[in-house]
Chain A
């Protein structure tokens, strides 16, 4: 994984910052794609949360060798894998695991990375210098070694994967939040507040944070998409949660050797992963445009 996670993180986040000022002021109605994405995300979340109660979702760990390698049908919507488990069910529970891991990681990453980025962007000087160095070190370090170290010493589990992904997302998040903070820290209203004698804490909280939060939300959504993929990457390298808990990445890896014979084992989770990541990206992009529009009108 080295830093394909990071590599994908920063440009994507950068992409969300590059908006189209020419369209500022023109109210754009959210597109069809946007609504479909929202629908997918909500639908997926609901199914994942209420999986246990849904009639069409079975037991993700129930092995039944009689049913092994069955192609998609009305009984097994996505077919079965080599142990006879229903892939649709596993994809649903995989959603649970993947979303939970990605969600927790981005929240923690944002909480820590966002705070540090804020402080670095506001106070500058020494704090900024040290932070920049630390960020460089973190970004220059191969992510794989860190992930391996965590799973090797602490074991394979949701907590450990969350730990690994949170740590890995801190550095890029510091960078982008800092960049955003820099923009606002120079603004007149901040200077005005300072001139009036407001304490740093107050300025940070009252003036800067509210302006940075919208973009942080955008990063959260895009970051979520990236972390879902990153977890898939970790699963590919054998560093994700323990079997038999399903995650999309692991299901894709499991199905790869049988790609020719039983394509659905790998391709189905691929599709689900793709659609989910796409949805988060689209929504994140739309949000970034909306918030930026607001900002230029302010």
Chain B
């Protein structure tokens, strides 16, 4: 119980700090936000003052932040100054895109990384291990946008298999197009992650396989597959889970570069647009969402740890 209380305090502090910081930094950006909001088309000082008042820009940062806090607590995220729709509508439209991107990327990379990692650990230091290690290093060293550029060059421009500027299609409207359009962006993100996950899993698994209980299981005549997947796998997933969690947490904010490159209407793209147009309320919502997602994911990781490793569960109980 004490643990949950601690976590709750942590969430609240992180949320408050990040949203405050966000308003503070946004206000530091060069250029009059009122002029930006009106697109430079209104040059009547009175009207601009009115705009400032409407968006609480004529008040000091703490007041603006408290106003935002107050409204958000009431469930009102406000109106987007740039798009003239409620902020919640924008989030409802954009969040799924980012989530799909993230989830598919994780699934894909885990699907590839887990078997490879397990096999590499099983046959450690043999050919497969060495080769996959080298390949992993190569993939690790490729930034996601470089991968994306290569993929676009080959599969969009040369072979016309996938669109270079995909339009987001909901899976409920057209599942085939949905996957086709998201394919390249997902692979761009997943490729580097595959490498990381594979290496982490392999390393942990090699360590686990040294343990006595594995030797004993083998002595008892248990099959290799059973040992690998039923007994050795779970305790080897610590680093993997940590890494996956961090990735997920980060990607909730939107893989900005990938979204920009492919023109996908996700959260990352929204944040960039909103900052550019000085759409304060949208930026706030994005920052808050990202912070919540981050803390949530960390929290889930802690639970996952406890689930995997009974020692931690007991240690916590004693704490």
The answer to the question of B279 belonging to the interface, with a C-beta cut-off of 8 Å to chain A, is: no
B243 and A20 contacting across the interface, CB-CB below 8 Å: no
Chain A residues contacting B186 (CB-CB under 8 Å) are: none
Query: Which chain A residues lie closer than 8 Å to B250 at the CB level?
Result: 2-4, 6-7
Chain A residues contacting B143 (CB-CB under 8 Å) are: 229, 232-233, 273, 277
Residues B137 and A8 in contact, CB atoms below 8 Å apart: no
B206, B246, B268: residue with the most chain A Cβ atoms closer than 10 Å? B246
Complex CA–CA separation, A44 to B156 (angstroms): 33
Q: Which of B203, B207, B271, B290 contacts A15 (CB 8 A)?
A: B203
Q: B69 at the A/B interface (Cβ < 8 Å)?
A: no
Does the CB pair A33–B153 fall under 8 Å? no
A137 within 8 A of partner (CB) = yes
User: B residues bordering A, Cβ < 8 Å?
Assistant: 10, 13-14, 17-18, 21-22, 25-26, 28-31, 124-125, 134, 137-138, 140-146, 149-150, 152-153, 157, 192, 196, 199-200, 203-204, 206-207, 210, 239, 242-243, 246-247, 249-251, 253-257, 260-261, 268, 271-272, 275, 283, 286-287, 290-291, 294-295, 298
| Closest 9 pairs between A and B when the two form their complex, measured CB to CB | A7-B250, A18-B203, A11-B243, A2-B253, A278-B141, A3-B250, A149-B25, A277-B141, A140-B294
Binds B, one of A84-92, A188-196, A212-220, A256-264: A256-264
Q: Closest A-chain residue to B254, C-beta based?
A: A2
B10 to chain A, nearest CB (A): 7
Q: Which of A4, A139, A148, A263 contacts B255 (CB 8 A)?
A: A4
Interface residues of chain A, those whose CB is within 8 Å of chain B, are 1-4, 6-8, 10-12, 14-15, 18-23, 33, 133, 136-137, 139-142, 144-146, 148-149, 152-153, 225, 229, 232-233, 236-237, 252, 256, 259-260, 263, 266-267, 270, 273-274, 277-278, 281-282, 285
On whether the beta carbons of B153 and A285 are closer than 8 Å, the reply is: no
Main secondary structure of the interface of A (DSSP, over half): helix
Q: Contacts A152-B28, A152-B30, A263-B153 known; A11 to B137 CB distance under 8 Å?
A: no
- 17 CB-based A-B contacts, threshold 8 Å: A3-B249, A3-B253, A4-B256, A10-B242, A11-B246, A12-B196, A15-B200, A18-B204, A133-B14, A144-B271, A152-B29, A153-B30, A236-B260, A259-B149, A270-B149, A278-B137, A285-B137
From B10, B207, B239, give the contact of A14 (CB < 8 A): B239
Do A20 and B141 touch across chains, with their CB atoms under 8 A apart? no
> Which one of A10, A141, A259 contacts B18 once the chains associate, using CB atoms below 8 Å?
A141
Tell me the nearest residue of chain A to B13, going by C-beta.
Answer: A133
Q: Are A11 and B275 in contact (CB under 8 A)?
A: no
A145: B residues at CB distance < 8 A = 22, 25-26, 271, 275, 283, 287
Complex Cα–Cα for A7 and B257 (A): 13
When the two chains form their complex, are residues B295 and A136 in contact, meaning their CB atoms are under 8 A apart?
yes
Query: Inside 8 A of A266's CB, which chain B residues have their CB?
Result: 149
Chain B residues with Cβ below 8 Å from A139 are 249, 294
Residues in B neighbouring A22, C-beta threshold 8 A = 124, 206-207, 210
Q: How far is the CB of B223 from chain A (nearest CB, A)?
A: 22
Contacts of A281 in B (CB 8 A): 137, 140-141
How far apart are A125's CB and chain B's nearest CB, in angstroms? 14
Question: Among the listed A6, A252, A274, which residue makes an inter-chain contact with B246, where contact means beta carbons less than 8 Å apart?
Answer: A6
Structural contact, B200 and A140, CB atoms closer than 8 A: no
Q: A2-B255, A133-B13, A252-B146 are in contact. Are A12 and B210 (CB under 8 A)?
A: no
